[in-house]
Amino acid sequence: MIEGISFEKGLTHNEILNLSPLSLAFLGDGVWTLLIRSYLCNHSTYKNTSLHKLTTKFVKASFQAIFYDSIINSLSQDEQDVAKRARNAKLNTVAKHASLQDYKKATSLEAILGFDYLTKNFDRIKEIFLVVKTQIDDCLKEEKR
């Protein structure tokens, strides 16, 4: 899915670990959005308006916080370190429709995805997505009712 897209300058593992957690979250936000959009396009018959609304729903901090909670126990040590740094980072903005706790969890999820992307750990990104896929599918079933 995203393996072939890579523009990084070849940072070492330690350099990636030492990047700003908010920079990792910035990249991870794009990875997450691509995963959600790809999944919705490949697994639904929704029209564009519905696809956009659903994508917006799943990239919100409140949903990302739920997804973060579902993967927290399966994180590697590096992912735990990245998540902790992201959670504790000084945020300049907070989402309008999310609690500070949810926003920090969402930032942690995005930072993990950014880290895994830069370390080219695409299998791990897929593993994370498979964990939350069930929750997404449940929400999609509710949408159809």
Residues tagged active-site: 29
> What are the CA-CA distances from residue 12 to residues 9, 32, 38, 85, 119 (Å)?
9, 23, 29, 19, 8
Distances (CA, A) of 40 to 32, 82, 102, 118, 119: 12, 28, 23, 24, 26
97 DSSP 8-state letter:
T
